[in-house]
Amino acid sequence: MVYPSMFSDYIELRNLAPVADILAQMTDWPSLYDMERLANNEVPVYASIYVDDMYVSYDFARETASKINNCKTFITNAMYHDAIGAAGKSEEVFKQLFALREDVMD
């Protein structure tokens, strides 16, 4: 999440404040996803969803994944948004995702 106050709180972002204001006021954004294409997806998709993710709403992640045909999810509250790159966590994430691929349940 990026909040308006961050553009004054963080010196590194101050020069971006005018651009951020313009982007924040835009209302004519195109669709982020092609919902029809996602609903007709034939390629296997395996996704991690983190219950306590501070960047992506759990409900939004579940809703989005549910709209992708052929998508299996690994849902956890034991890891966070950076788990795939975090020391000691990436192995567990990949283990769980490969288990989905193999349709293995522990």
Is the pLDDT reported for residue 106 higher than 80? Answer: no
pLDDT at 80: 87
SS3 of the chain: the string is: CCCCCHHHHCHHHHHHHHHHHHHHHCCCCCCCCCHHHHHCCCCCEEEEEECCCCCCCHHHHHHHHHCCCCEEEEEECCCCCCCCCCCCCHHHHHHHHHHHHHCCCC
Torsion of CA 61, 64, 68, 74, to 10 degrees: 10
For 88-100, the pLDDT digits (tens) are 888 899 999 999 9
Residue 24, Cα to own-chain centre: how many angstroms?
A: 20
Average pLDDT, the chain: 91
Q: What percent of the chain has pLDDT over 90?
A: 72
Is the pLDDT reported for residue 104 higher than 70? Answer: no
**Mean pLDDT score, 26-48:** 94
